[in-house]
Structure 1
């Protein structure tokens, strides 16, 4: 790798790490935000609202992709993703200054959502610019390798956010962190923003963009050329349903949903959950480079679609293994004393019971009976009606733990399973930047690749925690949330296998 290439990759990657750090802070602190920025009284509803606000940032990413993609194809790659990182950094820092619901009432979640929308718009323009910029500096036989460094940034940004949060929580203590210390990771973004802007100011414009500009081949209307011309629109749709949708759900299942599962379902203390996830990320991150380089040799399609089918087939066994090794007491209780709710119509008392069990992360089934009385079986014990204290005692006697016992966690096995989840991410995410860049012509590349990427990640992937958590609450099955990423991954495998063509030998300098 030449010195100039290293500079391009380092500058693009470092800036993107910081941007992902900003974006992931909210996801990592979603549990806290449900109590800080939303009305009290219904913890489950507040938590789901917090996840919905997290998802709002993803919802607008395609619009950011359209806006900044158009600017990037008209004005240039460098200045566009310089703007995106400034917007991202300032939005994140302002979250650290927000008053809470207790201070200003309903205005608090409105302001928080507004800043999340600004973050999402900025991130919508960031990735396409960085990936395009690096790829357009790469040679044909190393595009997967070079762009795979960009692909590590999301995981590294996630790891950085977890590290900063963990440090703050351990050094300040839980009470101080909940009171004001949660603001520190957001305010640190100001420092990261200054570093990122300084680095990116040193970059030169993409040589392929400059060439297109010099010969007068730039698109005058990137949006129209990208989405109203049938051949290119077909490529956009195939990229979405055959690649980026599957990549989005695999990514968020392997990182965010895994963290939510450890903390909210298995009730593993945050410090252990962060460390376990962090170690798995450290182990698996080099494989983004490995799979990117592998795609230069055998093709992008084979590597990416292999991740889709393997993930779809193994998610439920892996998460059951995570339960068994992460909270063995809970796993044993589910097997020996299954919870069954029996009722004719699930009215308020029944719904309160379901919310009570969902909050505890306990698996349960629901059966319809002719009797109007609410009955619950916990193993061989039958309880009529719902009284929290009665259920607390019955669940305790049946072996259901309030939280995971750190001494019972099988750390090597749970880290192994989580590392496998991140390897699935590396398999599909490592080559996908090169794949998307190679799929589209130079003059509309920024716009065309950004939209399917951010719909796949922002909509299919970004709403995964909310969708999965909602399915679990509705069904009572702690593994039912996985049906969604499994279905999307299978869709991408089928569409990609039937309709996607290999791109690794495509010429980038085309119009």
Structure 2
């Protein structure tokens, strides 16, 4: 093939740029597919590896495993960032995608907890750690590789394909899940079919390696190597290079933390909200989110392109501000359309639980108080509720005090109060409203994520760019974003309010807005070479 980086002074041709973008983007799609397939199948993974007899607890434990992978991303960023700045961009992200693909496929072969007991979740978590380490080196490598090939006036647009590819990984995971379900059927899917999407990653790995092996090293890295300008210790220089501590702070708390909670809310949180809180049939919920997310991919490209015209900071700041204003209204729009009957019942006949020490611990198998046991029942049913102090444990549904608070009595009272807890399939106008809401969330994510790869590449000096960009990005996305599903689901289970988990996103976004407004300097006219 043509040596894309043979002459660092020569601008790459259009065909060379297309190959760089396509290879980097497809590899990113496949690697994030590997990571997100776990989150997409969180409910069935919970039942298989964390059986607890409580769907809410199983989901939380499964999402904790999801968060574990994110938690190890910063360590992967340190390891592979060092290698990327010392050995090169290309070979580093070849290693990361290989580790990710093999770890993902291995999950498909792990026996269930019913077969091997505690060994099953331990092995699963070990593989999630490998996935997290690999992902810690992937994004930075792909984004930097494209940025260092792009002309300055198109850097935002070209790198936005990497951002869209992250969402593409989520969409591909949904597509493979839905296709597999349709082929094998419901019973086979529950028994063994869910493993196929994990094993499918072996094919994606082969395609990724074939494409990325065609690439040459980044022209910027080759030029630094030829001049003897490579960092001797990239990790040390990341924290000692003049002005870099401020850049790291802004990248972590202003950029990575904000973009990631918005992005995960627009994908995972809305999926769990529709599927669990709003009681929409699982395949329908996955299809709705998949179609909405796919339709919203253009937002990432649009705002990457816009950032080439007006700068990187403006779209991000505006996106943060709009998120604070619109997050709750958008979710109320989606909730009302997803299950109008449930929303109407909750408004017409609210559930109020009273008693002493009226607290609910979603992680406890047995609740400490009678009031807590009542809350446990409603939480398992996915029914929203409020609490108040009282002398004795009791329940009112609407204006009716419930005399029989046994599980059967509570279920009968819910039916009498107009609650239909069967899974639903929205249609017609309601589907349109849900998709409008998801597209609106995608727009907020596009504004705050589309310009980011270019911004981060321009923010840091080339000799330590891989390390400096990867470490704050993956700490922010790994901890602020990676723990978002489990924290938000815990808040929802604890409060009984299906919208309460959004406050985590809102608070982190507010912090990111303040940091970005006050400390981020525009990078659009900085050189990335």
Q: Please give the TM-score of this superposition, normalised by the length of structure 1.
A: 0.97
1:366 alignment partner, SS class: strand
Is 1:268–1:404's contact at 8 Å kept on the other side of the alignment? yes
Q: Does 1:240 align with 2:252?
A: yes
> 1:404 & 1:178 partners in 2: Cα distance?
17
> 2:104 & 2:145 partners in 1: Cα distance?
25
Gaps of 5+ in 2: 1-12, 359-367
Instruction: Output aligned runs, 1:332-371, within 5 Å.
Output: 332-346=344-358, 347-369=368-390, 371=391
Q: Give the equivalent residue in structure 2 for 1:57.
A: 69
- Shift of residue 452 of structure 1? 1.2
Is 2:43–2:58's contact at 8 Å kept on the other side of the alignment? no
Is 2:76–2:137's contact at 8 Å kept on the other side of the alignment? yes
Q: Give the equivalent residue in structure 2 for 1:412.
A: 432
- Shift of residue 403 of structure 1? 3.1
Q: Give the equivalent residue in structure 1 for 2:6.
A: none
Residue-by-residue CA offset, 1:420-468 (whole Å, 9 max, x unaligned): 1111111111100000000000000000000111112111011111010
Q: Give the equivalent residue in structure 1 for 2:415.
A: 396
Q: Give the equivalent residue in structure 2 for 1:283.
A: 295
Q: Does 1:486 align with 2:506?
A: yes
- Shift of residue 43 of structure 1? 2.9
Residue-by-residue CA offset, 1:336-362 (whole Å, 9 max, x unaligned): 111111101233332222222122222
- Shift of residue 185 of structure 1? 0.5
Q: Give the equivalent residue in structure 2 for 1:475.
A: 495
Q: Give the equivalent residue in structure 2 for 1:501.
A: 521
> 1:67 & 1:386 partners in 2: Cα distance?
56
Q: Give the equivalent residue in structure 2 for 1:212.
A: 224
1:109 pairs, out of 121, 146, 150, with: 121
Residue-by-residue CA offset, 1:363-417 (whole Å, 9 max, x unaligned): 1111012x1x211111011125731111111111111121343256711111101
1:182 alignment partner, SS class: helix
Residue-by-residue CA offset, 1:131-162 (whole Å, 9 max, x unaligned): 00000001110100110011111111111110
Q: Give the equivalent residue in structure 2 for 1:225.
A: 237
Q: Does 1:66 align with 2:78?
A: yes
> 2:284 & 2:427 partners in 1: Cα distance?
12
Q: Give the equivalent residue in structure 2 for 1:20.
A: 32
Residue-by-residue CA offset, 1:290-339 (whole Å, 9 max, x unaligned): 11000000011000111111112111111111111110011101111111
> 1:353 & 1:474 partners in 2: Cα distance?
12
Is 2:354–2:371's contact at 8 Å kept on the other side of the alignment? no
Gaps of 5+ in 1: none
> 2:179 & 2:154 partners in 1: Cα distance?
38
Q: Give the equivalent residue in structure 2 for 1:324.
A: 336
Q: Does 1:455 align with 2:467?
A: no
> 1:8 & 1:277 partners in 2: Cα distance?
29
Q: Does 1:428 align with 2:448?
A: yes
> 2:460 & 2:426 partners in 1: Cα distance?
53
Q: Does 1:379 align with 2:398?
A: yes
- Shift of residue 26 of structure 1? 0.2
Residue-by-residue CA offset, 1:461-501 (whole Å, 9 max, x unaligned): 11111010111111111111000000011111111011101
Is 2:357–2:369's contact at 8 Å kept on the other side of the alignment? no
> 1:200 & 1:349 partners in 2: Cα distance?
59
> 1:301 & 1:403 partners in 2: Cα distance?
46
2:52 alignment partner, SS class: coil
> 2:202 & 2:36 partners in 1: Cα distance?
15
> 1:359 & 1:136 partners in 2: Cα distance?
51
> 1:12 & 1:142 partners in 2: Cα distance?
16
> 1:453 & 1:143 partners in 2: Cα distance?
19
- Shift of residue 39 of structure 1? 3.1
1:406 alignment partner, SS class: coil
Is 2:292–2:438's contact at 8 Å kept on the other side of the alignment? yes
Is 1:323–1:330's contact at 8 Å kept on the other side of the alignment? no
1:501 alignment partner, SS class: coil
Q: Give the equivalent residue in structure 2 for 1:149.
A: 161
Q: Please give the TM-score of this superposition, normalised by the length of structure 2.
A: 0.94
* Structure 1 residues 204 and 321: CA distance shift in structure 2, 3 A: same
2:501 alignment partner, SS class: helix
1:75 pairs, out of 87, 91, 95, with: 87
Matched length: 507
Is 1:326–1:404's contact at 8 Å kept on the other side of the alignment? no
> 1:385 & 1:119 partners in 2: Cα distance?
49
Is 1:374–1:385's contact at 8 Å kept on the other side of the alignment? no
> 1:386 & 1:58 partners in 2: Cα distance?
41
